[in-house]
Chain A
Amino acid sequence: MAFTINVNGKTHTVDVPGDMPLLWVLRDKIDLKGTKFGCGVASCGACTVHIDGKVARSCVTPISSVGGGQVVTIEGIGATPIGQAVQKAWLDVDVLQCGYCQAGQIMAASALIASAPKPTDQQIDEAMSGNACRCATYVRIREAIKTAAGVAVADTREA
């Protein structure tokens, strides 16, 4: 079945079953491989994209449900000022180890800052707990989010 979707401002028409997850349409049909497969059940956040500005786990989002939603992926997030600031902070803080989860982390962090421009540690914990980093770079993810948001980087949680 043919579906027309908008990804990073471009329209793509694909002929796939309606239950094919957006993740695999992005990766295997329109060759946007930045969005990652980690679990297939919305448990790890590696596949995080934005649909109409909201975080979505693309591995459990059927293509038939996307409709006219504006999909933004890691390849397109740098076109927004927040996305650009988050990418830059990720580099400045030297966040990543293996890097596999970081596309999803950056997408989740960008959505967080869009809704909470000066996020607290509690807001960071809540917004980011759906995104697993197997290398456990959480100390630096926290620092990079604060750097991108322009707030003090010190961890304010009980220690």
Chain B
Amino acid sequence: MSTRTFDKPDQSFEASRRFFLMASAAAGGGLLLSACATQDPTDGASTVAAAPAKPAAPPVDINAYVAISPDGSIRIMAKNPEIGQGIKTMLPMLIAEELDADWSKVQIEQGISDQARYGNQIAGGSFATPQHWTPHRQVGAAARLMLMQAAAAKWSVPVSELSTGPSVVRHAASKREISYGDLATEASALPAPEKAVIDGLKLKDAKDYRIIGKSVKNWDSPRIVRGEPIFGIDVTVPGMKYASFEKCPVFGGKVVSADLEAAKAVPGVVDAFIVRQVGSDLMGLLDGVAVVADDWWTAKEARKKLNIVWDEGPTASQSTTDYDRQAAAFAKAAPKVANLRNDGDAASALKSSAKTLEASYSYPFLVHAPLEPQNCTAHAKADGTVEIWAPTQNPGPGRAMVAAATGVPADKITIRLIRCGGGFGRRLANDYMVEAAAISKQAGNIPVKLVWTREDDMQHNPYRPAGYHNFKAGLDKDNKLVALTNHFVTFGAGEKPGNSAGLPPAEFPAGYIPNTNYGFSVIPFGVPTGPLRAPTSNAVCFAYQSFLDEVAHAAGKDPLDFRLELLASPTAPAPTPGRASFSPKRMSDALRIVAERSGWSRRASLPKGVGMGIAFYYSHQGHFAHVAKVKVQPNGQWRVLKVWVVGDIGSQIINPTNAINQVQGSVIDGIGEMSQKITIDRGRTVQANFYDMPLIRMPDAPQIDVHFNVTDNSPTGLGEPALPPVLPAVANAIFAATGKRIRSLPVIPADLRWA
């Protein structure tokens, strides 16, 4: 059962939707609805290795997304990269609903990378739902209109007298009915509706949905459970060789020499050569040595013969122990960059507070480690074109990088989007893509499949940046939080935080207390950083929602009540620049419901060693509140027993089965992050594989209660926002269970001993 609450429309969503419409119009005219030449329906590896069932007669394009065959089968293109977030299944549901399609006749195919046809194609930021919610329904509605226009012409009746049912157009007055398949050819010859017409089309009321809101199972599952080759690493093209590529263990290091002949002497090795860095992007093409062979294992093994001498460069002087020392030194002084956020007079308010608290929180670098190691198949052809089969989240920048590295113009590069074995932000970078293209070219224009080892992946990654938060809080005589300061120490260059290493000025409780001051200092860093699922939020949420828990306890208040009181008292008229759609009401409602569902008020009866913690967070336009219940053994071994999640992502849960799956996965993923770390030693990543960078396993996955609080707001995405609150909810539960406050990640079980 969902509860319904009502709030004002989400303005920030409106802005992003308009942007999407304009971008589409600028790129391709109209809504990209004009019928294009039929796209080669190459669904990545599938047509190479195992052709999917084809309809008997070829489909005709109604628009860029929809093609209908005379037999009634409907092909809908899924435009965005699939990384496990379920977008390949979900986006076509939006189109099919307003097309009024018979879902059993729908075939989903993956679109290739094509900016002019599809606009941006990116799996990131949980943007796909808010950005496509209206435009994709309009795509379906426009195609439906064209089918109705074709029927109107055939029957010589006005369109206004027609209606549709699942894949049929009906004329009630004459009791006639015709299938979409029988109209496809005529409809495809019609001009695409003008934008003004499309914007005027009435979309369905939610109560009439037949597809949206019904659980549609992951489209590719049947093929995956049979072991069909549909991932990037499975791509095979004729004449293909296999490549392995060794880069300097220190980021940005250069090859001085390598024993190429020794590698070439290994039976099965076709070639070995030095590849040189292009540009300065540490997530671009770096120096390294490529080995090309008849099979991948041979190529990988031959790397052992290379005896590469590296010029390690300046980053070889950097280590995590030094970062920690620098962070401690920064913390003793004022922030180098002051007043990232400044409300009131926090310094004076702290001085006059009845009670003050200080605490420092820190968390380590993290690696993405999608289970499919980075890989890409590329063919830099002798005719001056490049063809790429890439498991990427973000093909656009990859295309530019390949163009720069190969000298082939961007429009001569074809990028096929192949299902990714996980993303988590790692595949927003395209280093593997440019490597594959460069190796293919240098190997003599032969097609090459590059596959990284797990060690390559662990040690060449844009890491989730570590961070240090040095908080001070002041409570007045009534135990109200009146002042908060944070000197945040992060990583980057000069005074600029690196990728995903910044602190949002709007970070709660800024804008909800009278005196706030945030500032930061930057540790120089030679290792690439980047977005990990719920970037910034996955780290900052732990620090802030844990410290607020400390403040609640210091104030003698229930951590739930303390949070609700803060949310009820915004102090600034525009408290959250960049977070315009944050609603304290939606968040408060989520908190109240999660408290109710979890039995929060009855937690005093829990035995020693068992505790409950609460946290909330707003990210990616989603409002989430979590309660975690944790059991800590006297020896410090801990396990999360159960997590309750309440999420508010608006008015419609588009594909419920996947929505719940994403939340369950986010919760377990977040718990797993609490035991992980990446450390840097002499510019190298220390951890190598899953034996020293553990992934969470089945026994540590708790029971999870997922509830969506359906509200009258436009739907938003779900790949990320359920993750951040897990970490502080669990840390706060550990405190409740043991009295030990987790101020530094990863959690060290020995520190939690309580008997």
Decide if the interface of chain A is mainly helix, strand, loop or mixed.
loop
B422 touches A136 (CB 8 A): no
B696 touches A99 (CB 8 A): no
A115 beta carbon closer than 8 Å to chain B: no
Contacts A97-B665, A129-B697 given; indicate if A34 touches B371 (C-beta within 8 A): no
Contacts A28-B242, A28-B296, A132-B697 given; indicate if A78 touches B226 (C-beta within 8 A): yes
CA distance A43 to B691 in the complex (A): 6
B49 beta carbon closer than 8 Å to chain A: yes
Question: B627 to chain A: closest CB distance in Å?
Answer: 13
Interface string of B73-106 (1 = CB under 8 A from A): 0000000000111100000000000000000000
CA distance A128 to B699 in the complex (A): 8
B218 touches A96 (CB 8 A): yes
What are the residues of chain B within 8 A of A36 when measuring CB–CB? 231, 233, 371-372, 421
B703 beta carbon closer than 8 Å to chain A: yes
Of the listed residues A17, A44, A135, the one surrounded by the most CB atoms of chain B closer than 10 A to its CB is: A135
Q: List CB contacts (< 8 Å) of B191-250 with chain A.
A: 215, 217-218, 220-222, 224-229, 231, 233-234, 236, 242
Give chain B's interface residue range (CB within 8 Å of chain A). Answer: 35 or more
Interface string of A65-99 (1 = CB under 8 A from B): 00000000111001000000001001100111111
Interface string of B697-732 (1 = CB under 8 A from A): 111011110000000000000000000000000000
Further 4 A-B residue pairs, CB within 8 A, beyond A39-B454, A98-B422? A38-B372, A100-B422, A103-B224, A138-B697
Residue among B222, B225, B698, B703 making CB contact with A129, cutoff 8 Å: B698
Contacts A21-B297, A159-B702 given; indicate if A137 touches B661 (C-beta within 8 A): yes
B371 touches A101 (CB 8 A): yes
B371 touches A40 (CB 8 A): no
What are the residues of chain B within 8 A of A73 when measuring CB–CB? 227
What are the residues of chain B within 8 A of A97 when measuring CB–CB? 84-86, 218, 661-662, 665
CA distance A20 to B690 in the complex (A): 21
Chain A residue total in the interface (Cβ 8 A): 60
Closest to A23 in B: B297
B414 beta carbon closer than 8 Å to chain A: no
B contacts, CB < 8 Å to A:
49, 83-86, 215, 217-218, 220-222, 224-229, 231, 233-234, 236, 242, 267, 295-298, 369-373, 419-424, 451, 453-454, 629, 631, 641-642, 657-658, 661-662, 664-669, 672, 689-691, 695-699, 701-704
What are the residues of chain B within 8 A of A41 when measuring CB–CB? 454, 689-691
B225 touches A102 (CB 8 A): yes
Closest to B424 in A: A134
A100 touches B226 (CB 8 A): no
Residue among A75, A103, A159 making CB contact with B703, cutoff 8 Å: A159
B422 touches A134 (CB 8 A): yes
A7 beta carbon closer than 8 Å to chain B: no
Contacts A37-B451, A139-B701 given; indicate if A91 touches B217 (C-beta within 8 A): yes
Closest to B235 in A: A33
What are the residues of chain B within 8 A of A43 when measuring CB–CB? 689-691
Closest to B82 in A: A98
What are the residues of chain A within 8 A of B419 when measuring CB–CB? 98-99
Q: Which 10 A-B pairs have the closest CB atoms?
A: A34-B227, A98-B84, A100-B421, A74-B227, A136-B668, A138-B701, A97-B84, A43-B690, A24-B297, A28-B295
With contacts defined as CB atoms under 8 Å apart, how many contacts are there between chain A and chain B in the complex? Answer: 189
What are the residues of chain B within 8 A of A34 when measuring CB–CB? 226-229
CA distance A46 to B84 in the complex (A): 16
A38 touches B704 (CB 8 A): no
The 21 sampled A-B contact pairs (Cβ below 8 Å) are A20-B297, A35-B227, A36-B231, A36-B371, A37-B373, A37-B451, A43-B689, A74-B226, A87-B225, A90-B225, A91-B222, A91-B225, A99-B220, A100-B371, A103-B227, A132-B690, A136-B672, A136-B696, A138-B697, A140-B664, A159-B642
Question: A95 to chain B: closest CB distance in Å?
Answer: 8
Question: B282 to chain A: closest CB distance in Å?
Answer: 24
B372 touches A106 (CB 8 A): no
A contacts, CB < 8 Å to B:
16-17, 20-21, 24, 27-29, 31-41, 43-44, 46, 73-75, 78, 87, 90-91, 94-103, 106, 124-125, 128-129, 131-142, 155, 157-159
What are the residues of chain B within 8 A of A87 when measuring CB–CB? 225-226
CA distance A74 to B218 in the complex (A): 19
Residue among A98, A128, A155 making CB contact with B371, cutoff 8 Å: A98
Closest to B227 in A: A34
A102 touches B224 (CB 8 A): yes
Closest to A28 in B: B295
A137 touches B665 (CB 8 A): yes
What are the residues of chain B within 8 A of A135 when measuring CB–CB? 84, 422, 665, 669
What are the residues of chain A within 8 A of B695 when measuring CB–CB? 44, 132, 134
A33 touches B49 (CB 8 A): yes
Contacts A35-B227, A128-B698, A159-B641 given; indicate if A99 touches B84 (C-beta within 8 A): yes
What are the residues of chain A within 8 A of B698 when measuring CB–CB? 124-125, 128-129, 131, 138, 141-142
Closest to A128 in B: B698
A31 touches B225 (CB 8 A): no
What are the residues of chain A within 8 A of B226 when measuring CB–CB? 34, 74-75, 78, 87
CA distance A102 to B225 in the complex (A): 7
Question: A119 to chain B: closest CB distance in Å?
Answer: 12
CA distance A155 to B704 in the complex (A): 10
Question: B117 to chain A: closest CB distance in Å?
Answer: 25
A158 touches B701 (CB 8 A): no
Of the listed residues A29, A31, A36, the one surrounded by the most CB atoms of chain B closer than 10 A to its CB is: A36
Contacts A94-B215, A135-B422 given; indicate if A125 touches B699 (C-beta within 8 A): yes
What are the residues of chain B within 8 A of A75 when measuring CB–CB? 226-227
What are the residues of chain A within 8 A of B672 when measuring CB–CB? 136
